[in-house]
Amino acid sequence: MEDLFARVLDDLIARVSGPMRFRLVLQPLMASTLAILAGLKDARAGKPPYFWTMLTVPARRADMIRDGWRRVGRVFILALVLDIAYQIVVLRFVYPLEAIIVSFVLAVVPYLILRGPVNRLVRRRRP
């Protein structure tokens, strides 16, 4: 089991300096742009901050998850496809769990981090 974790960690770290490293900047940038646009839309509509509400209001959770996936899903799929291509070229094998981890970190995490704070900042600045 330790060998598995060591391999996964080594493979994940190797992506930073390997081929196709442009995606490590491009995909979070795309997800961040989508999060900013969604946060601005949420602020105009008077909606509460995204991630915090998703965590604390179970009644709205399903709708919010569906809305988030609808907005960031394409970036996630693109990240998944690019990571699989990277694995085929560099590792000569596909590790699905690694691809999902990388795709989640590159696409979903920036989206979750930015959408709510953008909403809060815009609502604070408006009278």
The domain spans of the chain are 2-125
Percent of the chain with pLDDT over 90: 69
Which one, of 41, 69, 42, lies nearest residue 53 by Cα? Answer: 42
Say whether pTM exceeds 0.75: yes
**Rounded distance between C-alpha atoms, residue 49 and residue 88, angstroms:** 39
Residue range 22-45: average pLDDT?
93
What integer pLDDT is reported at residue 65 of this predicted model? 93
Secondary structure element (H or E) that encloses residue 76, with its range: helix 58-86
CA of residue 33 relative to chain centroid, distance: 11
Q: Give CA separation, 66 vs 34, 59, 109, in Å.
A: 15, 13, 16
- Dihedral sign for Cα atoms in the order 40, 44, 45, 48: positive
Q: How far apart are the first and last CA of the chain?
A: 56
**Rounded distance between C-alpha atoms, residue 119 and residue 99, angstroms:** 30
pLDDT of 24 over the 80 cut: yes
Given a contact cutoff of 8 angstroms between Cβ atoms, the answer to whether 102 and 12 are in contact is yes
Average per-residue pLDDT for the chain: 91
pLDDT of 31 over the 70 cut: yes
pLDDT of 5 over the 70 cut: yes
Q: What are phi and psi of 54, to 5 degrees?
A: -60, -35
Read off the tokens for 16.
């930073």
Could you read off the pLDDT of 57-108 as tens digits, one per residue?
999 999 999 999 998 999 999 999 999 999 999 989 999 999 999 999 999 9
Residue range 12-17: average pLDDT?
84
